Amino acid sequence: MQAYEGYFQGGRFYTVGVPVRIPEHRRIILTVLDEPVRDENTAHRLAAIDRFLTAIDASDEEVPDFERVNFGDVEI
C-alpha cells in the first residue's frame, strides 16, 4: 500500500512533491481531511497582508478609495 499527500484544485488531484503514476485498475481509498491546504508561501503571504493592514490601521494618513479589481474568480 502507498499513500500520497496532495490537494484538489479544479476537480483534479495534485500530489505534493514528486508526480506519481498510479497503475490502472487499482483499488483506491481517498480520505478528504477537514483542513485546508497551507503551504509555506501561503503562510508568508498571509502574514505580509496582516502586517500591511496593521500598518494602514496605525497610519495617521488618509487611505484613498481604490477601484475594484477583478482577478478571475477573486474580486477585490
Task: Return the pLDDT at 25.
Answer: 94
| Domain edges within the chain | 6-61
Cβ neighbors of 72 (< 8 A, separation 6 or more) are none
Band of residue 76 on the pLDDT scale cut at 50, 70, 90: low
Q: What is the pLDDT of residue 47?
A: 82
> Cell numbers of 2, please?
502507498
18-75 residue pLDDT tens: 788 888 999 988 888 888 776 777 777 878 888 988 888 898 888 778 787 777 766 5
| pTM of the predicted model as reported, rounded to 2 decimal places | 0.40
Could you list the beta-strand ranges (E) of the chain: 6-9, 12-15, 70-71, 74-75
